[in-house]
Amino acid sequence: MGTVWRVRCAVPVAFDTQALRAVIARRLAGLVAELSHWEPASRLSRFNRAAAGSWVKLPRDFATVIAAGLDIAARSGGAFDPAIGRLVDLWGFGPRPHTRVPSDADVAGALAVSGWQRLAFDRSAGWLHQPGGVALDLSGIAKGYAVDAVARLLWEQDVAHTLVEIGGECLGLGVRPDLDPWWVDIETPPGADIAPLRVALHGLAVATSGDYVRGRHTLDPRTGRPAGAVTSLSVLHPSAMIADAWASALTVLGPDAGAALATREGLAVRCVYRVEAGVREWLSPALAAMLA
């Protein structure tokens, strides 16, 4: 996934943490083998190369992520889209970097073979249809799913008190050894004159989308171009996968449409967006209620 993972956990002194580390590494390697846009041999890359008109049987993790991605694509009006791999590659945000801005014709060509509505998915059986030329990219949801998967794995290993983080997406379960919850600071863009916000992740995840580290790399699937109004947007949700995907979708929608959708969906959101005088902060009603 091009990033690092960290797990903090409260376990007995005699607990075999090296064995636990190995179990986590195997689980993550399995997810990369299914979901990576960067690995040519991954199940995702093989789907992207599948013949037009073919149906591809997805393994369970892959099917779970696609189902969630298509659901949020529909609920966001396409602001989140798992089928924008051609656009991601065109802009150099994937495994093949580029040094030039794509032309209008390039963008139009990639848009013509992209889009979640071109996909057909048999959810009950786990079969995904490749209409021809569609390339999946799950960068906006796979890290969150991996966080959920590792947390679930730890629970199965009798580790009930843990904080899991992959590339900035976090989920906390239980409490710290001092019986405090797992406190996490929501990311704030450097130089923004905004009060810091610290949240307790007790059965809760947080995911952030922003442009202050890697530049404007969140693509608007509807236009094929980078979104630009929001500089940082964080979503809190019991599922890191759902928080991850909504953070991408709301960043694309921008402060006005994003605020309306977040309110309608009852999402806990903190949005930092640009204005002429600098930046402003918006907290959704659901997050304001959590902080009250």
Q: What is the pLDDT of residues 229-285, one digit of tens each?
A: 898 999 999 999 999 999 999 999 999 999 999 999 999 999 999 887 778 899 999
Work out the average pLDDT over 198-216.
82
Chain-centroid distance, C-alpha 60: 18
- Answer whether residue 1 shows pLDDT above 90: no
Of 134, 121, 149, nearest to 89 by C-alpha is 134
Of 240, 230, 235, 251, nearest to 290 by C-alpha is 235
pLDDT higher for 274 or 203? Answer: 203
- Answer whether residue 78 shows pLDDT above 70: yes
Model pLDDT, residue 246 = 98
Model pLDDT, residue 172 = 97
pTM for the whole thing?
A: 0.93
Catalogue all structural domains in the chain, each as residue range(s) with its CATH number: 169-291 (3.10.520.10)
Model pLDDT, residue 23 = 96
Any known ligand binding at 140?
Answer: yes
Work out the average pLDDT over 204-223.
81
Whole-number mean pLDDT of the chain?
92
- Answer whether residue 116 shows pLDDT above 80: yes
CA distances 210 to 16, 187, 195, 229, Å, are 37, 9, 17, 10
Model pLDDT, residue 97 = 73
Model pLDDT, residue 190 = 73
- Answer whether residue 215 shows pLDDT above 70: no
Q: What is the distance between the alpha carbons of residues 240 and 246, in angstroms, rounded to a whole number?
A: 10
- CA angle centred on 120, ends 96 and 97, rounded to 5°: 5
Model pLDDT, residue 274 = 84
Model pLDDT, residue 137 = 95
CA distances 72 to 91, 116, 161, 249, 251, Å, are 23, 10, 30, 8, 14
Work out the average pLDDT over 119-146.
96
Work out the average pLDDT over 138-154.
96
- Answer whether residue 157 shows pLDDT above 80: yes
To the nearest whole percent, how much of the chain has pLDDT over 70?
98
User: Which of 23-37, 67-81, 107-121, 178-192 has the weakest average pLDDT?
Assistant: 178-192
Backbone φ and ψ for 282, nearest 5 degrees, come out as: -130, 130
Work out the average pLDDT over 120-149.
96
To the nearest whole percent, how much of the chain has pLDDT over 90?
78
Model pLDDT, residue 173 = 96
SS3 for the chain is CCCCEEEEECCCCCCCHHHHHHHHHHHHHHHHHHHCCCCCCCHHHHHHCCCCCEEEECCHHHHHHHHHHHHHHHHCCCCCCCCCHHHHHHCCCCCCCCCCCCCHHHHHHHHHCCCHHHCEEECCCCEEEECCCCCCCCCCCHHHHHHHHHHHHHHHCCCCCEEEEECCEEEEECCCCCCCCEEEECCCCCCCCCCCCEEEECCEEEEEEECCCCCCCCEECCCCEECCCEEEEEEEECCHHHHHHHHHHHHHHHHHHHHHHHHHHCCEEEEEEEECCEEEEEECHHHHHHHC
Chain-centroid distance, C-alpha 66: 12
Model pLDDT, residue 214 = 57
Q: What is the distance between the alpha carbons of residues 91 and 98, in angstroms, rounded to a whole number?
A: 7
Work out the average pLDDT over 160-169.
95
Any known ligand binding at 193?
Answer: no
- Beta bridge partners, 99, equal none
Burial of 15 (0-12, 13-18, 19+ CB in 10 A): middle
Any known ligand binding at 76?
Answer: no
- Which two tokens mark 202? 């007790």
Identity (one letter) of the amino acid at 36?
S
